[in-house]
A and B are shown apart, each in its own frame.
Chain A
Amino acid sequence: MTGAVLHDKGHTSKGHARMPTLAQTYRAIFLRRMFWISVLAAAVVVSLVLNIGTGPSGMSIERIVAGLFFPGSLDPSQRVILWDVRMPFAALAIVVGACLGLAGAEMQTVLNNPLASPSTLGVMHAATVGASLAIVFHLDTFGISENYVIPVFAFAGAMASIFMIHFLSRTFGATVDTVILFGIATVFAMDATVSLIQFMANDDSLQQIVFWTMGSVARATWEKVAMVSAVFAVCLPFSLRHMWQMTALRGGEDQARSFGVGVDRLRTLVLIRVSLLTAIAISFTGVIGFVGLVGPHIARLAFGEDHRFYLPGSALAGAFILSGASLIAKTLVPGILIPDGIVTALIGIPLFLALVITQKRRA
């Protein structure tokens, strides 16, 4: 029989009678992470306030504060600027950033690929094709607002591309690098398709498509903010419901399966959610790259990969990045509003390269 158990007696609980339990020690880590999540949430609020306070009309801080609490105290034009321009603008940056951050985080987990994000794998570009088709064929003329038509088409495009990448990487047993190559191919293919649609479009549609490809939160309205928020609010509870399964998945796919996690089902549900979040986020802003890539990385560095922290952390980081980027876009060149998509790309590309390099080093 097996006999001789050389069990390490020094480590049994008896020897640690007065030591704190692991759960007690972990509580300190838990609280520290909750603290930093709160700090990040506070930073998002600060960026929101700064965003509302910044603009070409030069309203003073006192007037803004007064206008927020007593809208009646402002004259009508200032009230419109504050309530119908600046506030939806600032709010849209936050909710779109949060959607992209959450989408990127979930994508990175279920594709087991730290370089995955709606922009690096071409999901956004496929959504652009969907939206461009909706624009160019004037599908909104059938009596449905473009606010609904464009998201539906963007969602179809996003979902088609994401499941194609998923299918290809499954079929060919792809590594992290190969999936990125598929993504690059998707980006090029979709860009070419968008160019073709632009080539065929009339002037009105062309202008609208170009606006799309240069992503900006500038055309925000409360209706758009409400729609993006609603989708985010619907997706988040489902994300949080899957958080332990996704955490288990980070510990290895085979192991997660052997714990009883239905990995295939989980992956499909998550990818549908990612398509939905990406499509609704950029339906009203156009292509905004790198928020969904960089947000999750910041969250991972700050909070680790326990998805109880990683998912909300990524959403908050995404919100903060886009909110900050839109602030930069407003203030960089006085009087000129640079599209946010350009700002996030300019900030995101060096970060992306840095990630690729560190990824290579780890491999």
Chain B
Amino acid sequence: MPSLSLDQVSVGYGARDVLKDITLPVLEDGIVLGILGPNGVGKSTLLRALAGLQGHRGRVHLNGEPLTGMPHLKRAAEIGYLPQALPQATTLIAYEAVVSALRAVRPDLRGADVDGAVEKVFDQLGIRHLAFQALGKLSGGQRQMVGLAQVLVREPKVLLLDEPTSALDLRWQLNVIGVISEIVLSRGGICLMAMHDINLAMRHCNRLLVLSRSRVLAYGTPAEAMTVETLADAYGVTGRIETCSQGRPYLVTDKLSS
């Protein structure tokens, strides 16, 4: 069962630390963590650091082993990362892009296994109709779906998704979140998602991390982490946390805090 722990993690570009002393309780199997916070607070930077794309200080342990110094193939087998910016002008078709995600690092796989895994992930995400289109011709949201397929086809235990729903319409947002939750809950795993939509995060994540001014402002269940105070502190917005008719909390914003 996967576990991920962050202890006093700082990440920076050059001399400037974007994130300082990020320490979280150990993230265990079944956790879907929404990372919230204003623009530029370091949500993407945190995910990039965990994906091994950026150096960090402090201790990150994956399944009890330090992430630094872990062979990149081993790390890549455990961690799947979906960047915010996805490939632009390429004539690569979606099917080939997803196959290449497997083939590039698993030359040992048999053709039938690759075909099966790719077939499964296109079905899982409901994007069979995109399979034979060039990535360059897809919309931003569609490319995001293909990017997610590239991540999921490798069946990593830890998912790091940078705004996976930002370019999607309502239906596809729910579809993606649904598929991710289903995978994490049924197959086991941990998912960390940088998000902008607070209500979507409160509704579908079982933990929230709110970052503000390079540090952890709040961490916990949605109800614990997302409070009126957090909202004002992180975003400078006055609002209320209401309860819907089904008893779930949701956010209503009022105005900018003065």
Contact = CB atoms under 8 A, between A and B. Distances in A.
Interface stretch (B17-25, B35-43, B103-111, B226-234): B103-111
Contacts of A301: 91
B64 to A, nearest CB: 21
Given A5-B178, A22-B131, A262-B72, A11 B81 contact: no
Interface string B84-125: 011101111101110011011101000000010011001100
Interface in A1-60: 1-8, 10-13, 16, 21-23, 25-26, 29
B118 A5 contact: no
A260 B77 contact: yes
Contact of A7 (B103, B134, B178, B184): B178
A116 to B, nearest CB: 14
Given A255-B83, A258-B53, A250 B90 contact: yes
B32 A2 contact: yes
Interface string B29-72: 00010000000000000001001110000000000000000001
A26 B115 CA distance: 10
A252 B79 CA distance: 17
Interface string A188-218: 0000000000000000000000000000000
Contacts of B119: 13, 21-23
Interface size class of A (residues with CB under 8 A): 35 or more
Most buried by A among B81, B104, B177: B104
B147 interface: yes
Nearest to B173: A6
A21 B122 CA distance: 11
A5 B206 CA distance: 14
A236 interface: no
Contacts of A245: 104-105
A63 interface: no
A261 B107 CA distance: 12
Nearest to A5: B178
A250 B86 CA distance: 10
A254 B96 contact: no
Interface in A207-234: none
A23 B77 contact: no
Contact of A11 (B85, B123, B177, B204): B123
Contacts of A340: none
Interface in B108-156: 115, 118-119, 122-123, 126-128, 131-132, 134-135, 147, 150-151, 154
Given A247-B104, A258-B53, A12 B123 contact: yes
A7 B126 CA distance: 8
B49 to A, nearest CB: 12
Contacts of A22: 95, 115, 118-119, 122, 128, 131
A260 B90 contact: no
Contacts of B252: none
Contacts, number: 153
Interface string A247-268: 1101110111111111000000
Nearest to B77: A260
A248 B101 contact: yes
A13 B86 CA distance: 27
Contacts of B212: none
Contacts of B206: 1-2
B96 A247 contact: yes
Contact of A306 (B48, B96, B123, B126): B96
Contacts of B52: 257-258
Given A5-B181, A23-B115, A251 B101 contact: yes
A25 B94 CA distance: 13
Nearest to B185: A2
B179 interface: yes
A262 B72 CA distance: 8
Contacts of B95: 22, 26
A256 B76 CA distance: 10
Given A8-B175, A255-B82, 8 more contacts: A22-B128, A244-B107, A247-B97, A248-B103, A250-B97, A254-B48, A261-B105, A262-B72
Nearest 9 A-B pairs (CB), nearest first?
A260-B76, A11-B126, A8-B126, A2-B181, A258-B81, A248-B104, A23-B115, A5-B178, A244-B103
Interface of A: 1-8, 10-13, 16, 21-23, 25-26, 29, 114, 244-245, 247-248, 250-252, 254-262, 300-301, 304-306, 362
